[in-house]
Structure 1
Amino acid sequence: MGAQRKGATRVSEDPEELSRVPLQAILLADSFTTKFRPITLERPKVLLPLVNVPMINYTLAWLESAGVEEVFVFCCAHSKQVIDYLEKSEWLSQPSFTVTTIESNNSTSAGDALRLIYERNVIHGDFVLISGDTVSNMSLTQALQEHKERRKKDSNAVMTMVIKRSKPSPISRQSRLGTDELFMAIDPNSKQLLYYEDKTDYSKGTIYLDKSLLVDNPSISLHNDKQDCYIDICSPEVLSLFTDNFDYQHVRRHFVKGLLLDDIMGYKIFTHEIHSSYAARIDNFRSYDTVSKDIIHRWTYPLVPDVKFFGNSATKLERQGMYRASEVAQSRSAEIGPFTVIGYGTNIGSNTKISSSVIGEGCTIGSDVYIEGSYIWGNVTIEDGCKVRHAIVCHGVTLKSRSILEPGVLLSFKVVVGKQFVVPPYSKVSLLQQPIKQDSDEELEYADSSSGITEISSMTNAVESSNGEVTSQILETQHWPAYELGTGGVGYIWSICEGCHEEEWRHSVAPIPADKVAEAMKDAEDELNLAYDGSILPASGELKPDSNDSGDDNEDSRDESIYFEKEVEATFLRAAQENIEEDLVVLEVNSLRLSYNKEAADCAGAIFFSMMKLALEAPHTSANELLKNVNSVLTKWQKLLKFYLPGMDEQIEVILKFEEMCLESAQEFSPLFTKIMEYLYDKDIVLEDAILSWEEEKTDADESDKVFVRQAQPLIQWLKEASEEEEEE
């Protein structure tokens, strides 16, 4: 059966239209980019495995669950492979969910695709526009309703873009999905999009806006903390606008920006922000890594490994986020770490260690193998003694004994790495030679699936097209000798083009290099200093005429604080689960601090709350075991917490946050309040002056607010006596 249906049915202007026009969607099964080469020279991106499920299945499962009834899948690059896959799948046989493929072998952009669909005259009302590399679990109900209501009042409201608050990356100017920082200007009242720039070139603390934006709009919110989910609700006019403007190729760069700059026609684009739901597009290898981890950590529920939906096999969730399919043969001495997925029919040898990785179906992994943070696709053979760290290994690859893949390596289909060979960091290896000539337009993807690439004469296995025939040459290639990948190695190591080294680490599955982390730390500190000097607008700020504070403003402030604390909590829990270094966590929290315009005390309170929650959720059966959990968490993460405790005010905020937890969300801590306060004091997290000042502030408080002051009296009295003894001495 399909994924659980959680969205609303078709939102309609009247009951008759509901039965007459189904909710439709256009799914682009081609990204029209080259970011996933060399893999996409042989296989379409939407069929690449994402936690052992082809990407397109996540998109189709979400559309089906969100109430879409008819989907048109536009196929271009390797179209035969996409069509063959869908025909063999269950998607074409669903009673209330129709999937129709539209094939084109000469479209080179999303604009070409939408113009062709317009010519087919298959879209009869508002539709969802999405690409087949998008994962989401959001409900469309509210976004559709808002779009419909706006259309009733203003026929020029042609598109609603889904956005969400972006989780920051440790690297400034880059999201955790590996994409460039996005800058948007939005009317806070109507939610109309006024400005959109996905490749910002403004310098630190400086934003340049056209004066007309400020003149024509009484209130503008500026954001660089939003993520474009690439889910759009469109009116039929969107297709005709692409047809009328043949220079519209890219949906965002040409169409969206073109409409925002067009003062004559008056077409408008609006935004719909989601908060608790998930939505992300896989744009590069870093976002592939990020979304994979989000799926394993269950942020995408119900689209998770152990819930059956089209394309995935039965997988069992075990302790600490480890998923195991059936027919897995594992040696008793092998160690499988948390947040790892093991595919059907895989064999794992003795003394092998695997952690934070996805292993595909039918893999053979030898003894004494070490795999960390990697993606091993199907039917891969890894012989004894190999080491694989933060790499992607495609189907059919063979790693001979004691070979090593350094972080950031990508091995395309059927590559063979010879004995003891070390593949350098960020290397891309393929059986196909690297094209001499890259496409002139960065939006182009290799689209002719009827032909392929030159077969390398020295290869033992021919590269086959989707119909099994050896492909013929169509791309101009470099005729250099193949690199020797060790004894028995087979494949070409692609050279990194001049000026592309920056992109390699930004878009890789490998951890961000230490020198880049240090550079980002300095940039983040500079930005925070600028922000608190009052010389720049906060990362998410509003420009509007002076007005009196209102209750709505207070409500917005409370909402902002709640969102901030949830973001910090998610950041900390991810760090704890993935063993992320404290310096990287500081960078992410600093980005949130700047984004929400918060103080160090807010960060301290949110981090302390997250730490205590982690201790509470760890297994325990008694108060003593809970205390041990608290001590363990405080010991491990005290450096992170102390970073945000420069003075007494921040330390008092931690005590107040602990009081709040004991009274409301974590009452299990209430009888342990004094003991945990002693831990905080012993570890120099909360100093004597802060504890005594906290007690003094409670002097005139109501008796109900003095519960924990009274409980902590033994500690407070001891501190006072110790202080008096020191003064006497």
Structure 2
Amino acid sequence: MGAQKKGATRFSEDPEELARVPLQAILLADSFTTKFRPITLDRPKVLLPLVNVPMINYTLAWLESAGVEEVIVFCCAHSKQVINYLESSEWFSHPNFSVMTIESHNSISAGDALRLIYERNVIQGDFVLISGDTVSNMSLTQVLKEHKERKKKDSNAIMTMIIKRSKSSSIIQQSRLGTDELFMAIDPNTKQLLYYEDKADHSKGAICLDKLLLTDNPSISLHNDKQDCYIDICSPEVLSLFTDNFDYQHLRRHFVKGLLVDDIMGYKVFTHEIHSNYAARIDNFRSYGSISKDIIQRWTYPFVPDVKFFGNSAIKLERQGMYRASDVVQSRSAEVGSFTVIGNGTRIGNNTKISNSVVGEGCTIGSNVSIEGSYIWDNVIIEDGCKLMHSIVCDGVVIKSGAVLDPGVVLSFKVIIGQQFVVPSYSKVSLFQQPTKQDSDEELEYADNSSGIVENSSMADTVDKSNGQLTSELLDEECGPTYELGTGGVGYIWSICEGSHEEEWRHSIAPIPADKLAEAMQTTDDDLELLTQDGSVLPPSGELKPDSNYSDDNEDPRDVSIYFEKEVEATFLRAVHENIKEDNVILEVNSLRLSYNKLFTDCAGAIFYSLMKLALETPHSSPSELCNSTMDVVTKWKKLLKSYLTDIDEQIEVIQKFEEICLESAKEFSPLFSKILFHLYDKDLIQEDAILKWDDEKKNADEADKVFVKQSEKFIQWLREAPEEDDEEEDEEE
């Protein structure tokens, strides 16, 4: 992966910077939260498997592909595990890409981490700031260029945040990632961030805006439809600001919001919105499940299961989004459904059904087992007759025969579930007792200062840290009665803390209950108001200008269609340039269709547009060459287009899309309309009935709308007469 550097070019012509500075990144290998407990009492979050690959590998692979040359990995919780993993991986020997680690045992926040990095004096210029739980495939070229050019004009422009427009309503996006609703105010002209607040930070029902925002800015766009990707381009001043302000702990709640209200220093934060690329952070169990699905459905290409990147074993993509390693042993009567990954050395018994799940390496799954929407890690044993629904099962777990995991269950490392035992929904089970006090000597995980969450259990001393095995003392004395997890069960069920019941379903990988989703949507629709400090009501989204009258217009559906077409085009172009098979492209387009709630007719139009655009961009010097190029493109990608042309409506959509292209975006095709239409017919992509129905629909249209019908008049006449000639020939033969 390392030879080609897509984003490493530095965008400065200043004489003092002619000596090239390598592009650096700071990767925080600690989230400083406890959302992944009890799993992270054993293993750091960044080393947890994400579709059978350690999470940090996705972040490092993207940084390398995006042109970053030096990565400083800050390690805190379980720092030795992270350092040992990196030192034994290919990352430490990778050419043109260096990884160094900084270890800390007493940092409890991102602010502490950045202050320590500043003291080490390892950052030489602008840098990428990211955490090791982020997955992306975006290019950094444009955002780096914008950041550099901005900084030249305004030395106070010290940070650029990557954001992405949600594909769906804000509440659906929250339910997908388990995040709080985010509100931003952005200058639509300069892209400067003026206001940032998530719903967790304000009282229910109202957000107050300083009226000076309207006074000081010609226009403001208010948004609750943006996703914070938690990828930042930072100038070195960011590190010094953390050093000068020790109350800066959290990157967003303290640092960003602090800059936005600081009138003295005048530092500015800007945004860069991505559209067709992917970027998301794994913040909780729900986003872990959602991003796993995105990887399986190939939104994150090239970081997908069947493309080798560091730490990823060879695996093959089969039909309907099913990935399987070559040495899987599967009974003939077992059924492995779509969007499922099965790792190396796993054995699957008779009549077992697995769907929408990830199974790791070396697992043994018995007969008559049902696994749906679950994530099974390595070396797990699931005996006969078990049922798992939307659960996470860590390494070395044993689930005895007939046991049931209800939705939302998390089983930490080496837990044993007894026979016929039903683990209740949202339960977390661990060999560690639930923490009740802080042990400052051997903290296994660090929490946010303000969380008030107790740190770790004193049971840490009973774990053999060299190999992760529990000592006999722990098994004999520390584990509770076996009936807590059924006959033969070993481990503790953690109780749900008072006041956190809502977080259980919000952050779980289990589907959100219908009543909870309806309640959340009702709250979002009815309760929210945006207020200025004097109590004036502002709209929840859209553009505002001083003294303007606001009208609550719904979003133009054409905007959604444009986003959809752009994403289909990006998917198609990746297939062209990277020789991706048509079956895989169909899989990705189907994922887009579901995400945007589109029809097959929309897919047909978008794919046809992508084909025609590719043909137009192929070098040509005459209409005949353009026509030949178009025919070549259509012929090569016939299978892809035909997949979405199964009925007349879809075929008519393509004809109408071609009309639109000829009239608006690519008028070079206008004189070639009838020739290309005939080619589509000749290749059995557009049927005779579709062309004749299109002609019939144009009978009463305005003359301006009949341009291409008239151009195709001879061809249409031939189609209408051809059946009569065929009938006459048949009569003569009789």
2:706 matched to which residue of 1? Answer: 702
- The amino acid that maps onto 1:85 is Y
1:101 matched to which residue of 2? Answer: 101
What is the deviation of 1:518? 3.9
What is the deviation of 1:64? 1.0
What is the deviation of 1:265? 0.6
- The amino acid that maps onto 1:421 is F
* Residues 113-122 or 6-15, more deviating: 6-15
2:295 matched to which residue of 1? Answer: 295
What is the deviation of 1:435? 1.4
Preserved contact between residue 29 and residue 131 of structure 2 (Cα < 8 Å): yes
Q: Deviations over 1:599-646 (max 9, x none)?
A: xxxx88x775148879999xx9999x9799449xx9xxxxxxxxxxxx
What is the deviation of 1:74? 0.5
Matched residue of 1:484: which SS? helix
What is the deviation of 1:702? 3.3
Cα distance in 2 between the residues matched to 1:674 and 1:210: 61
Matched residue of 1:116: which SS? helix
Are 1:441 and 2:453 matched, yes or no?
A: no
Q: Deviations over 1:285-320 (max 9, x none)?
A: 111111111111111111111111111111111121
2:580 matched to which residue of 1? Answer: none
What is the deviation of 1:424? 1.1
1:286 matched to which residue of 2? Answer: 286
Cα 1:367/1:79, change in 2 over 3 Å: same
Cα 1:388/1:695, change in 2 over 3 Å: farther
1:197 matched to which residue of 2? Answer: 197
Cα distance in 1 between the residues matched to 2:117 and 2:170: 41
What is the deviation of 1:704? 2.5
Cα 1:472/1:257, change in 2 over 3 Å: farther
Preserved contact between residue 72 and residue 100 of structure 1 (Cα < 8 Å): yes
Cα 1:621/1:226, change in 2 over 3 Å: closer
Cα 1:20/1:290, change in 2 over 3 Å: same
Matched residue of 2:449: which SS? coil
Cα 1:238/1:357, change in 2 over 3 Å: same
1:660 matched to which residue of 2? Answer: 656
- The amino acid that maps onto 2:294 is D
- Counterparts of 1:245-256 in structure 2, within 5 Å, are 245-256=245-256
Preserved contact between residue 698 and residue 706 of structure 1 (Cα < 8 Å): no
1:454 matched to which residue of 2? Answer: 459
Q: Deviations over 1:347-368 (max 9, x none)?
A: 1111111111111011111111
Cα distance in 1 between the residues matched to 2:118 and 2:192: 26
What is the deviation of 1:482? 6.6
Matched residue of 1:289: which SS? helix
Matched residue of 2:209: which SS? coil
1:88 matched to which residue of 2? Answer: 88
- The amino acid that maps onto 1:73 is V
Preserved contact between residue 387 and residue 404 of structure 2 (Cα < 8 Å): yes
State the identity as a percent: 70
Are 1:609 and 2:602 matched, yes or no?
A: yes
Cα distance in 2 between the residues matched to 1:164 and 1:673: 43
Unaligned runs of 5+ in 2: 439-446, 531-535, 549-555, 571-582, 612-633, 662-676, 721-734
Cα distance in 2 between the residues matched to 1:173 and 1:306: 27
What is the deviation of 1:342? 0.8
- Counterparts of 1:322-721 in structure 2, within 5 Å, are 322-436=322-436, 441-442=449-450, 453-454=458-459, 463-466=463-466, 484-519=484-519, 540-544=541-545, 562-563=562-563, 608-610=601-603, 629-630=646-647, 660-661=656-657, 663=659, 671-672=686-687, 674=689, 696=700, 698=702, 701-704=705-708
What is the deviation of 1:33? 0.4
- The amino acid that maps onto 2:459 is T
Preserved contact between residue 698 and residue 709 of structure 2 (Cα < 8 Å): no
What is the deviation of 1:468? 5.3
Cα distance in 2 between the residues matched to 1:4 and 1:508: 39
Cα 1:628/1:25, change in 2 over 3 Å: closer
Preserved contact between residue 479 and residue 492 of structure 2 (Cα < 8 Å): no
2:66 matched to which residue of 1? Answer: 66
What is the deviation of 1:235? 0.8
- Counterparts of 1:210-225 in structure 2, within 5 Å, are 210-225=210-225
Q: Deviations over 1:103-154 (max 9, x none)?
A: 1111000000011111111112111111000011111111111111111111
Q: TM-score, normalised by structure 2?
A: 0.76
What is the deviation of 1:97? 1.1
What is the deviation of 1:465? 2.1
Matched residue of 2:135: which SS? strand
Cα 1:607/1:512, change in 2 over 3 Å: farther
Matched residue of 2:174: which SS? coil
- The amino acid that maps onto 1:702 is K
Preserved contact between residue 409 and residue 425 of structure 1 (Cα < 8 Å): yes
Cα 1:26/1:435, change in 2 over 3 Å: same
Are 1:161 and 2:165 matched, yes or no?
A: no
What is the deviation of 1:503? 1.2
2:7 matched to which residue of 1? Answer: 7
Matched residue of 1:302: which SS? coil
* Residues 386-395 or 537-546, more deviating: 537-546
Cα distance in 1 between the residues matched to 2:638 and 2:273: 41
Cα distance in 2 between the residues matched to 1:655 and 1:205: 48
Cα 1:510/1:577, change in 2 over 3 Å: farther
Cα 1:115/1:137, change in 2 over 3 Å: same
Preserved contact between residue 3 and residue 65 of structure 1 (Cα < 8 Å): no
Preserved contact between residue 391 and residue 405 of structure 1 (Cα < 8 Å): yes
Preserved contact between residue 8 and residue 22 of structure 2 (Cα < 8 Å): no
What is the deviation of 1:499? 2.1
Cα 1:243/1:221, change in 2 over 3 Å: same
What is the deviation of 1:203? 9.3
* Residues 398-407 or 261-270, more deviating: 398-407
Preserved contact between residue 73 and residue 101 of structure 2 (Cα < 8 Å): yes
- The amino acid that maps onto 1:441 is N
Preserved contact between residue 178 and residue 286 of structure 1 (Cα < 8 Å): yes
What is the deviation of 1:240? 0.7
Cα distance in 2 between the residues matched to 1:166 and 1:397: 37
Cα 1:219/1:325, change in 2 over 3 Å: same
Cα 1:362/1:240, change in 2 over 3 Å: same
Cα distance in 2 between the residues matched to 1:622 and 1:61: 32
Preserved contact between residue 3 and residue 61 of structure 1 (Cα < 8 Å): no
- The amino acid that maps onto 1:542 is E
Cα distance in 2 between the residues matched to 1:62 and 1:626: 32
1:127 matched to which residue of 2? Answer: 127
- The amino acid that maps onto 1:165 is R
- The amino acid that maps onto 1:704 is F
Preserved contact between residue 107 and residue 447 of structure 1 (Cα < 8 Å): no
- The amino acid that maps onto 1:133 is D
Q: Deviations over 1:647-672 (max 9, x none)?
A: xxxxxxx9995652465799679844
Cα distance in 1 between the residues matched to 2:172 and 2:537: 17
Preserved contact between residue 395 and residue 414 of structure 1 (Cα < 8 Å): yes
